[in-house]
Structures are given as C-alpha cells and as structure tokens.
Structure 1
Amino acid sequence: MPSSTVAGMGPAAPVFRPPGGLSPAPTPVRPADVSDDGRVGRVEEASHRGVSDESPFRPAPRPIPESDLAENDMTDAYVSRETEDPPLAQEAKRAVEILNPSGEITMPRPPKRRILCVANQKGGVGKTTTAVNLAVALALHGNRVLVIDLDPQGNASTGLNVPHHSGVPDIYQCLIDGVPLDAVTQAVEGIPTLWAVPATIDLAGAEIELVSVVARESRLQRAIRASEGEYDYIFIDCPPSLGLLTVNALVATDEVLIPIQCEYYALEGVRALTENIEMIRSHLNPVLEVTTVLLTMYDRRTRLADLVEQDVRAHFGAKCLNAVIPRNVRVSEAPSYSQSVMTYDPGSRGAVSYFEAAQEIALRGAQRTQPGAQRTQSGGNG
C-alpha cells in the first residue's frame, strides 16, 4: 500500500482506505461527551457503532399510533390502581396497628397468669430490650403486664421511663426488707395496663446480703405470691449472671424466655444457662421449663447468623419463635429517649418484629389452656 511523504518529516504512516476510496466519517463528539477539562469522555453506544444522532443513516423512529397511546395510558392507570401502597403508607399502617390507639386489636389473654423469666448469662444479647418491648406490645393490645427489673443497672426501668434513682422504692426492698411488691410498683406513663418494679443501684449489694438471709432463693417468689395485683403477664428482667438474683427469678417462675444473639459466643452462654436451669429444677423448682427462645440481632447479610439460627432451631425445636429480631438502629435508639421501640418508631422493622414475637407468645399462651382452667387472681398464683 503506498504511503505519502511529508516534507522534512520522512515517510508518514500508512493510511487505511476502504474499498471504493471513501474514508470513514469521523465520529462526532457532542458537548455532553466532553468533560470540564476539555478531554473527550465516553460517548454513547450509538457513537461507538459509528452512528451518531446526526448521521443520515440512522432510521427515523416509527410513530406510535394514537390507539396504542390510549391503550398504554389505560394500562398504566389500571396497574397503578392494582399496585400496593407506597412504603410510607405501609409503614404508617403498621404503626397504627402496633400502637392500637382504638384498642380494637387485641392479643388473646392467657387462662392464668404467666410469669416469664428473661434470662441469659451472656451479656448484650437483648434481654432487657426483649422484656421491655414484649411487655409494651402485650400491654398495648389488651393485656395487663408487670415488668420486674432485677438487674442492678436498671436498664428496664430506663426503657419504661420509670424513676429509679437512689432512694426510690425498688425491688431491693422487697428482697432484703420484705416490703410488699405492690408498695414498690409504679405505673408506666402513657400505657394504662403496664406497670413496673424498678431497680436502683442498691440492688448491686443484694447478691452479698442475700447470702445470710433465710430462704434466700425464694424471696422473690414469696413477694409475687403476696401481691394483690391482677396481671396477665409478669416479665422478670435478669442480670447477665447466674448469681442469687437470677436464681430468685428462676425459682419464682414457671417459664424461661431465652434471647439468643445470632453469634457463636451466645450459644456457649445458653449451654451454661440450660445446665443451671436443670439444677434448679432438680432442687428448687420442679415445674421450671424453657418455653420460649427468641433469636435477636439477626444480620441477614452474614452467613454466621444463618448457621446460628439453624443450630438453635435444631436444638430447641418448636420452642423457638418464628419471629426473628433483626439488627435495627431504631431498637438501639429508643432507650436514649426512655422509650420502647414500640412507641419510639412503631413502623420500624424492629417494632414490627417484636410485635410479631408478642403475638406468637400470646397465641401459644392461649393454646396452653388446661382442662377446666380458669383465670385466677394474682394473689393465688405462684
């Protein structure tokens, strides 16, 4: 192929010419393809194919008949009527269902009072969060609920916005001084059927002081039996240990609710807890039973959470609730406002998950009806 020579420059590079002697048309660069610094950016796919918007070889678009336009408009209108509500509307609907301002939505009340000890010797697995939010969910839907804060940190009292500073009558006085439970019970503001027994820093010394007290393992049980309050549910929030406070809670209840974080260390804590439950059942409380297991802090993005869920469900079977509590920022934010997530952000995923868990607990409690069982007063329950 011949090559041209430029004066003073030597032979120039060969130029490819297609058959027919026509040189290829340069690809036009539109203003949208030029960056601020003058460099040519990436052109559109049509330009890469050598066909620009101004090219005479681009076929003209086929005009759409008016009949088709009318049909498409009708189709879009029909689809818009059939689609679901937008996300904000769905969230608002869930919030109304959870807050239940009209009181129309109710969860079944148990045939007799249920006392659930929320326990796990592993810290940070969601014991307090679970006790508070389940109690609020049940109370908002037709149940009378009492929360006993047995943790010296007093986090359950904070979550329910119940005063628990030093000098406030609390559960410590019931355990050590024998003060009636009703005398230290406080109503929770904004929820008429929810009460709480707070815990102050004084409770931190109860572990040592209970050592020399007569019948030290059953002090809480006797206080609950002597109460005249009528409750459908009593939730006992235990400290993250297996000391005398947790032993008192396990002796005072028939049911244990175990929140399990979806991580490996949480499984080790459950093994130690189940061993202690067996020991207490053998020596102090023969009717004690693990009835409910709730998976918390579930992160669907990790494979580990899925494996832990499979192990827990394989071990506990039907005792595991179908509802799983996900990791949710709203659940963590709510205590800083002295609220449960049910009232702080009722439309959030965390609130919906705890609401579903409370529904399961209520339905299972209604199904545990014994022949001839009737609702009894709090004073006659143990």
Structure 2
Amino acid sequence: MNVSVNPPSISFFTSATFRTETIDQRKFDKFTDSLGYFLKRKQISYSVFETGYRGDFRYPRYFPSKILSPFILHWIAIKSLFLAKFPKELNELKGLDDLYSYLKKYSDLMSINDFRSLLKRALLIKNWSEYLKEILKKEKPKLVFLNASYGPFGMAICLASRELGITSVDVQHGVSGKYHFGYGSWHNVPQNTGYEVLPRVFWTWTKFDYDAIREWTEASANVHEPIVGGNPFLSLFKIESSLSLVEDARVKLKENFKSQWKNVLITLQPHDKLHPIQKKIIEFRIPNVRFWIRLHPDMKREEKEILRTLSELSGEIETDLANSLPLYTLLECMNLHITSSSATVFEAQQFGVHTLICDSNSSYFFEDVIKEGMASVIKEDEISEIKIKEYLNIKSDQKQKSTDIETAINTLVKKFV
C-alpha cells in the first residue's frame, strides 16, 4: 500500500501465510501490516507485494497489497526445475556427486536427489531474481523487507536487491538464534562481499537473537549486520492496546470465558501436529481447565484431520476462538502455554506465561527463556496431573520491555534511504 504519491522508499515482499490474525473481519499480516502502521506514522511511503502460499490467498486483506502472479512464478519454477538443460560437459566433470554426498551427509536439510538437482535449485533462485529485478526497477525502493530469507524465494529477493544496490532486510518471524540454519553459525563468510543470497540486514526481536547473528557477521566487514528492532506486531499491540480492534477481541474472549477456570494455550507445529505429550495432558481431563488449540499458519491442509482428532478427545477444548482471535489477546488470559517448538515461547514470556516445551530436541532454541525460568522442558515419563497443576499456578510478572521499534526504523532510514 502506498501512503504517498512519491515512489516508495520501502518495498515489502510477503506471503499470505503471515496473515494469521483476523482484525475487524480482515486478514492482518502481523509483520508487514504492523510495520506499515509505524511507517505511516512517520509518513514514509511503502509498497507491498504478496504471494499465495500453496495457492492460499487470504481475503479480505487489512491493508492492500499487489499480488505477484502465481502463474508467472510457477512457470519460472517449471522451466528451472524440469525443463532446464545443462552442458554435456557437466556430466563429465568428476567429483560432483561426491561433493553432493558430502553435503548430504552433514545436512539433514538436503532434500535434493543429486548435484544436478542442486544446480536446478540455484537456477530457480537466479531466474526468480531476474523476474523480481524488473519489479524493483519500476518501484525503485531504497529498502526491501522480507520474511524467511533462507528459502529459495527469499534468496531470490536478496539476490535481486543486491544486484540493484538495494538494501534487503530480513524481519524475524519466529525462532532464530545460533542453532537456526538460516541465521546462525555461518562460516567462511567472504570478507567485504558476504553472500549474495543472504540479506544485508537482519531485523531481530531480541538482543539474544542479535548476538547469535553478530557472532558471524563481523567476519563479513558488516556486509551483513543485525539490528534489534523487536517484534512488530507485539509492539503495535502494546502501543495501541486500547484500539477498538483489540478491545473487541477482548470482549469476545471474556464472553466465552468460564469464571474460576484455568486456561491453557496449545500451539501446534506442522511437523508433529498434535504432539503425544499435548494429547496426554488434554486427556488428563483436569477439572476446570480449558485447552485452547491454535494451529500453525501452514497447517491449512491438516486442519480437518487435526479437528477430527481433537473431537475424539475428552476434555474442554476450544478451537474456533483460539484460531480467530489475535494471539496476544489470548496470551493476556492464559495460565500456561504448551508447544513442541513454536516461537510463541518468546511471545508468551512477554505476557508472563510459562511454557512447557514437549520436544527436548528443540529446547536449545529457547535457552535464554529456559534460563530465565519462563519455560521448562517436559518429558513424557515426567507428566502427571499433579505436575501440570503446579505449572498452572505459575504466573510471572517478568515481562520484557518492548523494543522501541521506531528507533530501529529511524536507524535503517538514516543509514540506507
């Protein structure tokens, strides 16, 4: 959405996936729309380009955006992945498959069949970037904001921006830190040039996330650098908590609350759906406890299956309001949060809500929250009704102060616009 007749200073590239909140019966992008609110207050012009995730376009949108044609993006993908031809000499090069095997051995994330498929993925990034460059040439922004820069499309945005001399900014959207493959522990960063497919700036939520990225960006002579900008939607929620859009949600929530009951928010993740530990806790049927089950935005395809599974469980379960009301409105009223690996761990901390982490393998993402006593790892053999009741009575006043998001915007604008 442009807020002035001037060319936009900033362009956003986002996905319908991030329209996770429903406000005033419109789909709200918790990062782009939140940042847009602060930019409009400062009279900074911006534009938004949006893709649909797996054909999912969420309407009506809170603020307008320009839809990137799925037909063009898919056609580029087909040409790159299925129709691409490489020189015959490539087949004669020795060691390519050995190199691929080495990469496969040390990375569980390599889901590509052979080295030639890896080259096709690189070609896809390059071809998408050429398409995006034409858009950016017309827009002429000074800054490009995006989420999830570690995927092929995110890399294409970074590459297009880099080749046009535009500063790309990855806005943290969830778990980050030194153990995340997209944000931590990059080695051998080319000094003075960095990597062309990584963002120029990493917008982080906390000093903890900032430090994890700063560990390796110093070697790039600041070609890549982090900045603490805070969680945009959380900042908006706290600053504008008296807005009707928030108050209406609070009223609706309270109308459906049962007095003297405890409330537990369970956030699901696509890779494990309803975790066995979460299921076991629900089936304890603890008196006067209600479970609010919130699906991950990427679980649209699994929604019917999840709801069917939940319908077979006994206990007080709420799904409609848990998925239609803003997350932070829910967290204001929760006594406990349970997840396997959701970034809601960080957000629950902001509201003084303790988190039980079901997946011990993901606990290292939340080391700082665990250290501060706002999260605990729970194992299946440790679960008991008595133990859960103890956690339900934990309510902390340890709420972190929100980052001054406008200071971060000022820093970026002053340096790059």
Pair in the same fold by TM > 0.5? no
TM-score, scaled relative to structure 2: 0.33
Bigger Rg, structure 1 or 2: 1
TM-score, scaled relative to structure 1: 0.36
